[in-house]
Structure 1
Amino acid sequence: MTSYSLFLDSTAQNIVDAVQAETLENTTLLKIDKPLLSKQPQPGKIISEQFDPATGGTLFILSNGIEVLTTPAKNANDIVGFSARSSGGMAALGKKLGPAGLSLTDYMLDAGLGEWSGAELKQQLAAASLQLHPFITPDQHGFSGETSVQDLEKFLQLQYLVWTAPRDDAAVHKQSMVRSFQQAKANWQSLYMWLNEKHYGENWPYPSFWLDYQFDASLADFSAARGRLFGNPRAFRFVFTGLNKQAQTKQWIEKYIASLPTQPVSSFKPKALAHGRGNELHQTMQEQRAIRVWHAYIPVPATSASADMADFLSQLLQQRLWQALRENTGETYGVYSNYELNAWQGLLIKLNYQTDIKQCDQAAKITVNEIARLRKEAASLEEIKNIRSILIKQQNERADFPMQHAQYISWNWLLDASLVGNATDFSQYTPELVHKYAKAWLGESYWAVGNINCQNRVDLAALRGD
């Protein structure tokens, strides 16, 4: 989720509260003399492997039904990225287990794994430079991480424990709820949350203003939520980037992934959230600046093709508005646009900027005019080429960040139910094609606007019609 860079006195105090909620641990190193796994798993089998032309990697089908994609190293940094992703997320937890989902990622590793306490595990991860992070989004969940090639077996043992030997800890359970609440309060994204809460209605799981009772969940609820989301590794798409196909690697995949216990998968497809009509929301705070957040809520299928076009349009909006707002309103900065896309929400294109309070009206008019111009006429070929170059550069650099690269592949794999490589052909994005989507996606009825210290209402009339 995007930070809107509005740092207030209340935000500062909330951050202090969040830090104070952290549990201070004894910095004395624990004396640990035991293997990560007390008992070695019985290996499963790789039943098929095939070259994947989309990613240049190898797709392994395992005897327990799990599919694993490995892509080769693109450089010599010896870092392996990892992502395991499944559909579900907060949408799969519902109202009963939703409060547990708000703190679960903070809890899972801190509670420990197998014979390892949370403190022991943290020390082991730091010593071996291992990273493994659980995540829960509105309708997806999983793990991401990275490791050095030298510590790959230890990393695979760690992920084996995550699936097979979770622990519960009553003290960590309470600490996780307090810490998650304080972190939510310290977050200054209330406009983003408020717009979504108003738009999606009562089924949206993230309120705009957090109260501590919203995090209340029993230890049994934590365990149930963890089991519902992370209880069946077969439901996940496993991706390793920067991993060359070697005999040793294949043996470890059989030992630590093909050995995982699994069940048949019941696909989770959440019913799409209802889309409300555009809202305009206002907040007033003791600041000498103003901020505006623009959301376009677009009910389109969640596919990688939609994501690519949303990325292109977001970049085009950002480039247009950065120039227009800076030239005409002076003290406008932090112009930023991006998008979110998932099966539950559909597409959300986001735009925000900060400006002088006296420029609220002028900045809004410029923003509407630029969006209207994108809908009325195609961008120039020069503009399109510029956006192409930005996105192609991002593509080329993606493999330099193994964990993010693995996340990208697993996200697209889950969206499309097929593998998507690193290089969308943006040369096919012509001014006419981009204009077609700008006209369809950026109309008046899709927009909602959030304001801090801007009291004028935004006139969206110029965005009406086809």
Structure 2
Amino acid sequence: MIMDFMKLTLLQNAIGFKNGMKKRFFLVLCGICLFSLLITCAGAPKGEIYGGLGQPSDPVPVMEKARTGTLPGGLRYFILENSTPENRAYLTLAVKAGSVLEADDEQGLAHFVEHMAFNGTARFPEDELVNYLRSLGMRFGPEVNAYTSFDETVYGIEVPVETGADGIRRIPSTALAVIDDWTRAITFAPKDVDDERAVILEEYRARLGAMDRLRRQMLPVLFKGSQYAVRLPIGQQEIIENAPASRLEDFYRRWYRADNMALILAGDFDGAALEDSLAEHFSISAPATPLDRPSFDLPNPKKGQAEVLILTDPELTATRIDIYYKRDRQIPRGDLSYYREEIIDILIGRMLGFRFEEAAAKSETPYIYAGAGNIRYGSSSRFYVMTAQAKTAAAEDTLAELLREKESLLRYGFAENELALAAGSLVSDMRRMVSEKDKQESSGYINYMTRFFLQGGNFPDLEWELDAIERMLPHIGASDINAALKDYFKYDDVTVFISAPEAELANLPTEEQTRRMLRESRKMKVSPPEAAGVDEGFLSSAPNPGQIISRSSDEETGAILWELSNGAKIILKETNNKNNEIIFQAMARGGNSSAAPEDWRSVELASEMITASGLGPYTHADLMKKLADKQVALSFWTGGYYRGIQGSATNEDLENLFEMIYLGFTDPRIDPEAVNALLDQRRTALAQRSANPEAFFADEVNKVIYGGHPFFKPPELADLSTVNTGSALAFIQRCLNPADYTFVFTGNLDINAMQSYAETYIASIPQSESFDEWTRLEFRRPGKAEKTFYKGKDDKSLVYMTWFAPVSYSEPLSAATQVLTEYLDIKMTEEIREKLGGVYSISVGVSVSPVPEGELSMSVFFACDPRRADELSQAVLDVIGQTAIDEDTFVKSAAALKKQWETSMQSNSYIAQSYANSSVLLDLPLSRLNKRPQYYDEVTPADIQQLRSLLLQDGPARFVLYPGE
């Protein structure tokens, strides 16, 4: 797998927002987290700004519970004992070898070596490694994976732990043998290498498209003068086709050395016992010669240098502006001064994220969204990046807005209230993380330690961070923020990329216009930021409470069941999955299909309108500020046949969640300006959607499988002119009878508090006319059909095959469909990918839907060489139609599902969703969730055969997209 660090829709380390009522920032686990009092303007001496922690060059202490060291051969290791999720261990091998280390005739071989790691090692020849991992119930993708980037290759597996006769929990020795073989004993049999070429070439093909074409034009400009400009990890097609096995082994032996790799282990095992025995499992020898790994960095920034690249592509669907400001080189350090710099960067990112989101909610803003953040390449190269997606015909205005924001930052920085909001938000996040310190996911720790090994920096304990931030943050003020901002733009060495659909060419600024805008931006008129505050609380006074009129419990699950005086039903399930998390799901029957046909497009957008508009008397921007220092989220959603509300909170912020639920039911809000901004976003998204071959194909398939029914028809630009906010609000108001809903709460519940809040904020919601049934829409499934489409520039086909059959829903049937999905996934991978070399990946899905009537469905999707579309389609039919069931694969399939269930049961969201489904959609006991492993065990090969026979009675409907003629 290729790790793509040039995805233009994301910024590494950028702090930004997505649509939703409560906005979150992603913080790498145990990364820069903040806990503080109010920020004060600081001008303290250096000794004080570190709050007594030490001097600027003093090291940040390494996480105390992490065991680190070096094995006799020189292999570094990181071990972390962590019990979430239970009974699981995560094993990672990180290698500081990526595509930048390839010679000219090796381009693509770092990635090729990664593939070969799964195709044979000394102790696991051919497919034995894959078979072993599947025997543990592990699946490729979620639990077994690897990636190659410019600078590194990283392998990861997840396995169940074993408990020995001595009671010690251990990683299976065979799993450790897999990692050991990867360090020193990957085999490169010529036949295996030749077989894998086809798979890698199909991965190469799968990546073709508009974004790949942009990437290949942009990287040489952005990385000019460095190895990164000429070393895309996927490599060169002719080298992949022709490189001999010996050349791959040369690369492997040169860079997979003990002093260039690290073993990173985290999970529910005995860490001390593992460390004591580690040398017995890993026998890689010390290298005979010192490591000579070159470091590749970008040229130093030059004052006033500007590069502009304007690109169009017929398959692009969006116009993007990306501005890269090159910064001084900096190697990540593990000292206090670097830690403080990171805190300041996070604060700036969060403040700017608030600004961008508030602006995007205004209809006059020329962009749909914007973001900014620092990114790194190599050991020390850095950029500060500002990026935005422009509305239709608004590229020049969007560029102007980004430049205006830059000038505002340089001249005025941030207002004190912006700093306070950012600090409050970070305070809340840090408190949440500390409260869950023993419930953090092992996978997060793995990512954190891997980043530390590969990039440097620090990884302290959460408790140390809490103490450090308490000491440092009061001394971070406006002067520190402004100094950092000036450093971001110190050289004004800038690269501007403007990428757009060909249809937008006439609306784009020229290169000369862009350069002129860059020069003249320094003279722009900008205003200082407004210091707008927000009042506390949601409700001026608590509503008159209702009552709980019925109390019972579910004997099999222990769930508490209440019925309220207004007819609402509540299910409470206490868990210890998290220390301080409460998940909320409310669901009711009846959805968009019950609206009048002329209102379908309006009600389809109704929940998004509500979310974009705010809540009660508060605009979306008001809510963003009110919730900045809280851990609470709430959103509405509607589907074709049912609807709901979902949310989450900590115990400290739980009353705010209930207040928001009450406001959502009693005072739904549609803000005309927010709706106009939302519709602008939709117009922009739909204007060029059909230019993208994948989107075009998906829309055409959708039309056929739903028989052309107008309700299911993909939205088109013209449909937006029919959207009516009055119809949307009327539909939402129809959906707000509390008696229609079952409210589910899972997590670390305080039952007494839940009773008080339920009576005050849910039982008090007035009843209205019931809307508690779905409307069935009649349409005809395609049966056996063949549809061919032509679109796209690349030598790539997409194939989608689907089958449908009417059935009566049952839990055993649902379990059987999951087993069949797993079974076919393995078989398709073995046959279509491994044996035929026809695809990079192939997806299979079998499911049974209960709503509005039972229906069984199966689908297969893959991308391939257009000349092989028919051959591979027939191979899919052959796999599905096999009369005999492979017992070994069947057993692995059921085992994988049971392992997945074990992990899922440690998720409060999973339990809440299951209980809501049981109560509202299925009318089944809550205990169906606990019985799932039993259902998997009871599925037989005969059940699988019966399912296949039922599906194959009619169909398939096959859809093939070929390149445009």
Q: TM-score range by the shorter chain?
A: 0.7 to 0.9
- Which of 857, 860, 864 does residue 355 from structure 1 map onto? 864
* Cα offset, 1:364, TM superposition: 0.7
Contact 2:619 2:671 in 1 (8 A): no
How far apart are the structure 1 equivalents of 2:700 and 2:954?
Answer: 18
Report SS of the residue matched to 1:99.
Answer: helix
How far apart are the structure 2 equivalents of 1:216 and 1:438?
Answer: 43
Q: How does 1:237-276 map to 2 (within 5 A)?
A: 237-244=742-749, 246-263=751-768, 265-271=770-776, 273-276=778-781
How far apart are the structure 2 equivalents of 1:435 and 1:449?
Answer: 22
- Which of 408, 412, 419 does residue 925 from structure 2 map onto? 419
How big is each residue's C-alpha offset from its partner over 1:398-432, in whole Å with a ceiling of 9 and x where there is no partner?
A: 23332343223312332222333333121111112
Contact 2:812 2:939 in 1 (8 A): no
Gaps of 5+ in 1: 456-466
- C-alpha change, 1:205 and 1:125, in structure 2 (3 Å) is farther
How big is each residue's C-alpha offset from its partner over 1:83-133, in whole Å with a ceiling of 9 and x where there is no partner?
A: 111222221224122111232222102212222112111233343132222
- Which of 614, 618, 623 does residue 116 from structure 1 map onto? 618
- Alignment partner, residue 309 of structure 1: 816
- Residue 437 (str. 1) matches residue 807 (str. 2): no
- Alignment partner, residue 13 of structure 1: 317
- Residue 127 (str. 1) matches residue 127 (str. 2): no
* Cα offset, 1:169, TM superposition: 1.5
How far apart are the structure 2 equivalents of 1:311 and 1:412?
Answer: 18
How big is each residue's C-alpha offset from its partner over 1:308-356, in whole Å with a ceiling of 9 and x where there is no partner?
A: 3332322222221111111233140231123472524734332211222
How far apart are the structure 2 equivalents of 1:401 and 1:6?
Answer: 37
How far apart are the structure 1 equivalents of 2:682 and 2:850?
Answer: 24
- Alignment partner, residue 232 of structure 1: 737
How far apart are the structure 2 equivalents of 1:204 and 1:315?
Answer: 34
- C-alpha change, 1:68 and 1:111, in structure 2 (3 Å) is same
Amino acid at match of 1:234: A
Report SS of the residue matched to 1:149.
Answer: coil
Contact 1:62 1:254 in 2 (8 A): yes
How big is each residue's C-alpha offset from its partner over 1:194-250, in whole Å with a ceiling of 9 and x where there is no partner?
A: 33322323435232462243463122112122123x221221221111143521121
How big is each residue's C-alpha offset from its partner over 1:337-386, in whole Å with a ceiling of 9 and x where there is no partner?
A: 2347252473433221122223212211110101111xx33x23322221
Contact 1:55 1:419 in 2 (8 A): no
How far apart are the structure 2 equivalents of 1:182 and 1:137?
Answer: 23
- Alignment partner, residue 343 of structure 1: 851
- Residue 211 (str. 1) matches residue 720 (str. 2): no
Contact 1:303 1:416 in 2 (8 A): no
Amino acid at match of 1:236: Y
How big is each residue's C-alpha offset from its partner over 1:128-177, in whole Å with a ceiling of 9 and x where there is no partner?
A: 13222222222222122222222111111111111111122111222222
- C-alpha change, 1:97 and 1:208, in structure 2 (3 Å) is closer
How far apart are the structure 2 equivalents of 1:429 and 1:352?
Answer: 25
How far apart are the structure 2 equivalents of 1:178 and 1:295?
Answer: 35
Q: Which moved more, 1:301-310 or 1:424-433?
A: 301-310
- Alignment partner, residue 566 of structure 2: 64
Report SS of the residue matched to 1:337.
Answer: strand
Contact 1:135 1:143 in 2 (8 A): yes
* Cα offset, 1:453, TM superposition: 1.6
Report SS of the residue matched to 1:74.
Answer: coil
* Cα offset, 1:21, TM superposition: 4.0
- Alignment partner, residue 905 of structure 2: 399
How far apart are the structure 1 equivalents of 2:319 and 2:712?
Answer: 19
How far apart are the structure 1 equivalents of 2:710 and 2:850?
Answer: 13
How far apart are the structure 2 equivalents of 1:313 and 1:399?
Answer: 22
- Alignment partner, residue 158 of structure 1: 660
- C-alpha change, 1:255 and 1:273, in structure 2 (3 Å) is same
- Residue 136 (str. 1) matches residue 638 (str. 2): yes
- Larger Cα-atom Rg: 2
Contact 1:290 1:356 in 2 (8 A): yes
Contact 2:706 2:712 in 1 (8 A): no
How far apart are the structure 1 equivalents of 2:697 and 2:820?
Answer: 22
Contact 2:833 2:841 in 1 (8 A): no
- Alignment partner, residue 649 of structure 2: 147
Contact 2:576 2:748 in 1 (8 A): no
Contact 2:553 2:561 in 1 (8 A): yes
- Alignment partner, residue 541 of structure 2: 39
Report SS of the residue matched to 1:249.
Answer: helix
- Alignment partner, residue 938 of structure 2: 428
- Which of 107, 113, 118 does residue 609 from structure 2 map onto? 107
Q: Which moved more, 1:142-151 or 1:152-161?
A: 142-151
- Alignment partner, residue 462 of structure 1: none
Matched positions, count: 447
How far apart are the structure 2 equivalents of 1:54 and 1:236?
Answer: 23
Amino acid at match of 2:823: L
How far apart are the structure 2 equivalents of 1:367 and 1:211?
Answer: 36
- C-alpha change, 1:398 and 1:250, in structure 2 (3 Å) is same
How big is each residue's C-alpha offset from its partner over 1:24-68, in whole Å with a ceiling of 9 and x where there is no partner?
A: 999956411231112211111112222224543211111111111
Gaps of 5+ in 2: 1-205, 211-312, 321-366, 369-388, 393-397, 406-413, 422-531
- Alignment partner, residue 288 of structure 1: 795
Q: Which moved more, 1:203-212 or 1:291-300?
A: 203-212
Amino acid at match of 2:317: Q
Contact 1:157 1:256 in 2 (8 A): yes
Q: TM-score, normalised by structure 1?
A: 0.86
Report SS of the residue matched to 2:654.
Answer: helix
How far apart are the structure 2 equivalents of 1:87 and 1:257?
Answer: 18
How far apart are the structure 2 equivalents of 1:15 and 1:334?
Answer: 30
- C-alpha change, 1:452 and 1:127, in structure 2 (3 Å) is farther
Report SS of the residue matched to 1:353.
Answer: strand
Report SS of the residue matched to 2:318.
Answer: helix
Report SS of the residue matched to 1:198.
Answer: helix
Report the identity percentage. Answer: 20
- C-alpha change, 1:399 and 1:168, in structure 2 (3 Å) is same
Contact 2:545 2:760 in 1 (8 A): yes
Report SS of the residue matched to 1:110.
Answer: helix
Amino acid at match of 1:142: G
Q: TM-score, normalised by structure 2?
A: 0.43
- Alignment partner, residue 328 of structure 1: 835
- C-alpha change, 1:149 and 1:10, in structure 2 (3 Å) is farther
Contact 1:54 1:419 in 2 (8 A): no
How far apart are the structure 2 equivalents of 1:10 and 1:402?
Answer: 44
- C-alpha change, 1:266 and 1:208, in structure 2 (3 Å) is closer
Amino acid at match of 2:318: N
Report SS of the residue matched to 2:744.
Answer: strand
- C-alpha change, 1:55 and 1:400, in structure 2 (3 Å) is same
Question: Larger relative contact order (C-alpha < 8 A, sep ≥ 6)?
Answer: 1
Contact 1:130 1:147 in 2 (8 A): yes
Q: Which moved more, 1:409-418 or 1:318-327?
A: 409-418
Amino acid at match of 1:391: L
How far apart are the structure 1 equivalents of 2:803 and 2:319?
Answer: 30
- Alignment partner, residue 464 of structure 1: none
Contact 1:90 1:136 in 2 (8 A): yes
How far apart are the structure 1 equivalents of 2:899 and 2:831?
Answer: 24
How far apart are the structure 2 equivalents of 1:385 and 1:156?
Answer: 45
- C-alpha change, 1:435 and 1:331, in structure 2 (3 Å) is closer
